[in-house]
A and B are shown apart, each in its own frame.
Chain A
Amino acid sequence: MIKLNKINKETILSRKPDLDCTELDGDIVMMDLDKGEYFMLNPVANSIWENIEKPIAVSDLISNLMTEYEVDEKTCYLNVIDFLGKLNDSNLLVINN
């Protein structure tokens, strides 16, 4: 499948609903029950995951993370875009542009 939606700061997105999530000592294991696939999130990834429960602009997501973690904007932006790209490749995002 070709991904037409490239994610940038203006993109508004949310996580795919109906994923089965389980917490293990702060890490999250998510399961896509339809496909039988599973994904593991570390605490930082988990915090992004919680932030995108409802549709949010990527720029707002970055601001939220910068209040939570000591990180400069550029590093935060690059890491967030990279991670969201991975979620998108695994069909775990809903993009509402």
Chain B
Amino acid sequence: MEYNFYKIYGLTIKSSIPLHDSIKINNPNFYDVKIDYGKVYSENNIDTCSIGIFNFSPDNITFKVRDVASYKISNGNTITVDTEGNSCFDEIKKYVLGSSLGMLLLQKNIVAIHGGAVVIDDNAIIISGNIGAGKTTTIANLLNKGYGFLSDDVSAIMKNNNNTYSVQPCVPQQRLCKNTVHILGHNIYDLVQVDKLKDKYLSPQVNNFVRSEKKLKAIFYLDTTDASKVTYEEILGAEKFKLIMSNIFRKEFIPNKFIKPPYIKDCLAIAMSTPIYKISRPKNKDSVNEIILIIEKLTKGDFKND
């Protein structure tokens, strides 16, 4: 079996499944996570909790994607992939880099927020938000302005020694919808279609990829509204904590008891130390430029509301 080593979310990963060439590292002395093909059996014991396709037990999280593969994430250090028939390699890999690594972060008590991360002035900001609120378009436009890229869909937040928090780099690729592909001036035929259902395309190499962790400076939550212009407000108090908890990656599938106290405590500490802004944009109007201006102002300024 041929293995390669990669750095993702600050973790050293040994994998027999090729993940992404540009984040390969030379043989390290140790690794945090091993990814391999193998058999995955469904667990059905008294401790198993199931929500949707995900099954949680104290040591393992398993899920099965029809016509693709079954995945088992164990003890925060092993991912096992059991492929089905003629499943397509890009599809298999998509669930390794997405849900599998996301669930592994949960097992390791590393907070993972559903949202991408961009670097502005050497600090990380997280762009989270409702489905269809414009996360991907906003991130793509920030990258077009030359800002750095850390992650597309999952932001892993780790505690530093001095009680501050940093966002870790993921993989230099972005999933774009057709509309964004055109806005960015890519040729759609150069990109790989990764999700036929949602019409998503993979931008395989992001130019401004940042390879080191960056201090978390702010979280932006995007939402749509019936109002006619873009507005923003700073979220305060327990609402900050609530917003972080409800935007944990795949939260809707995680039984409450599998979110452990250290994880919740980190969410609370992040809520205390990080400004969180909600930006609301009109539903049917392209307002990405206004959103970018607000994000730049709040990130580069002194965090005062007007």
Complex alpha-carbon distance, A41 and B238, angstroms: 8
B185 at the interface (CB under 8 A from A): no
**A36 and B237 within 8 A (CB):** no
Kindly list 6 other residue pairs between chains A and B, CB separation below 8 angstroms, not including A24-B268, A28-B238, A29-B241: A20-B265, A22-B268, A24-B241, A36-B260, A38-B245, A41-B238
B240 at the interface (CB under 8 A from A): yes
Q: Evaluate whether A37 and B256 lie within 8 angstroms (CB atoms) in the complex, with A24-B271, A24-B272, A31-B261 already known.
A: yes
B194 to chain A, nearest CB (A): 35
Who on chain A is nearest to B245 by CB? A38
Report which of A26, A36, A40 forms a contact with B261, defined as CB distance below 8 A: A36
User: Which residues of chain A come closer than 8 Å to B239, judged between CB atoms?
Assistant: 27
User: Which residues of chain B come closer than 8 Å to A22, judged between CB atoms?
Assistant: 268, 272
Who on chain A is nearest to B269 by CB? A22
Complex alpha-carbon distance, A22 and B240, angstroms: 13
Report which of B237, B242, B271 forms a contact with A26, defined as CB distance below 8 A: B237
B257 at the interface (CB under 8 A from A): yes
B191 at the interface (CB under 8 A from A): no
A-binding residues in B (CB < 8 A): 236-242, 245, 256-257, 259-261, 264-265, 268, 271-272
Complex alpha-carbon distance, A28 and B272, angstroms: 11
**B256 and A40 within 8 A (CB):** no
User: Which residues of chain A come closer than 8 Å to B236, judged between CB atoms?
Assistant: 24-25
Q: Evaluate whether A40 and B260 lie within 8 angstroms (CB atoms) in the complex, with A22-B272, A31-B265 already known.
A: no
A35 to chain B, nearest CB (A): 8
9 interchain pairs, CB-CB under 8 A: A22-B272, A24-B238, A27-B239, A31-B264, A31-B265, A35-B257, A36-B257, A36-B260, A42-B237
What 1/0 mask marks residues of chain A from 72 to 83 whose CB sits below 8 Å from any chain B CB?
000000000000
User: Which residues of chain B come closer than 8 Å to A35, judged between CB atoms?
Assistant: 257
Complex alpha-carbon distance, A33 and B272, angstroms: 19
Main secondary structure, interface of A, reads: strand
User: Which residues of chain B come closer than 8 Å to A31, judged between CB atoms?
Assistant: 261, 264-265, 268
What 1/0 mask marks residues of chain A from 4 to 37 whose CB sits below 8 Å from any chain B CB?
0000000000000000101011111101010111
**B259 and A36 within 8 A (CB):** yes
B149 to chain A, nearest CB (A): 30
Chain A to chain B: the 5 pairs with minimum beta-carbon distance, closest first = A27-B238, A27-B237, A40-B238, A25-B237, A25-B236
**A40 and B242 within 8 A (CB):** yes
Complex alpha-carbon distance, A42 and B242, angstroms: 13
User: Which residues of chain A come closer than 8 Å to B242, judged between CB atoms?
Assistant: 40
Q: Which among A25, A29, A37 has the highest number of chain B CB atoms within 10 Å?
A: A29
B233 to chain A, nearest CB (A): 14
Complex alpha-carbon distance, A59 and B299, angstroms: 50
User: Which residues of chain A come closer than 8 Å to B264, judged between CB atoms?
Assistant: 31, 36, 38
User: Which residues of chain A come closer than 8 Å to B268, judged between CB atoms?
Assistant: 22, 24, 29, 31, 38
Complex alpha-carbon distance, A33 and B111, angstroms: 17
Who on chain B is nearest to A32 by CB? B261
